[in-house]
Structure 1
Amino acid sequence: MSDVLQLILEDEDGTQLETTCTRFAVMWQGKEVWFQQVGNDQLMIGVDSAEDDSEYTNLLLRPLATNLVSLELEMEPAEPGDDGHVHGPDCNHD
């Protein structure tokens, strides 16, 4: 099994460029939305955040049709102090 993603980038006139990477990000609404292949052929999507962010970013995935989904970024205020986050093996915090 490989962690390499095969990307097809397309510009406005339809010209395609094929490349590979292990991880890529899209800047969307001022946030870095990261995509990375993980075990069992799954795709992990996450949003980078900084310690001093005043909002949490939530990813909302909704089915639209048989082969389409909607991915939305939703911001909610960050409460100072304990945010209730429980560190686990998948949270990528040290």
Structure 2
Amino acid sequence: MNKPFAVLLEDADGTQLETSCSRIAVIWQGKEIWIQHVGGNQLMIGVDVEEGDTEYANLLLRPMATNLVSLELEMESAEGYADEDEHEHGPDCQHN
């Protein structure tokens, strides 16, 4: 099991609640965006895909400033991925 990490939750009034967990999810645009500690100084961020989904969710991380990044959720049609012969493997497809 992954080592827990500290999480701060803040409401609209600025009140903070500190807790710890090994995995959290944010519901964003109807998808579960999971963040979990995977060892060392690393976090893994992923999107749950359910059977029957017609779109794949891609997370795009872009630098904005010295200490800021932008995380964008982009939906891509799942058509064409059903037939493996139609899929061209590249560095970003996450297939072995």
TM-score interval (norm. to shorter): 0.7 to 0.9
Letter aligned with residue 24 of structure 1: I
Letter aligned with residue 81 of structure 1: D
Letter aligned with residue 6 of structure 1: A
Letter aligned with residue 50 of structure 1: E
CA RMSD of aligned residues (A): 1.6
Give SS of 1:32's match.
strand
| Whole-angstrom distance in 2 between the partners of 1:58 and 1:33 | 11
Within-5 A mapping of 1:54-65: 54-65=54-65
Q: TM-score, normalised by structure 1?
A: 0.84
| Whole-angstrom distance in 2 between the partners of 1:41 and 1:3 | 11
Within-5 A mapping of 1:1-94: 3-79=3-79, 80-82=82-84, 86-87=95-96
Alignment gaps of 5+ in structure 2: none
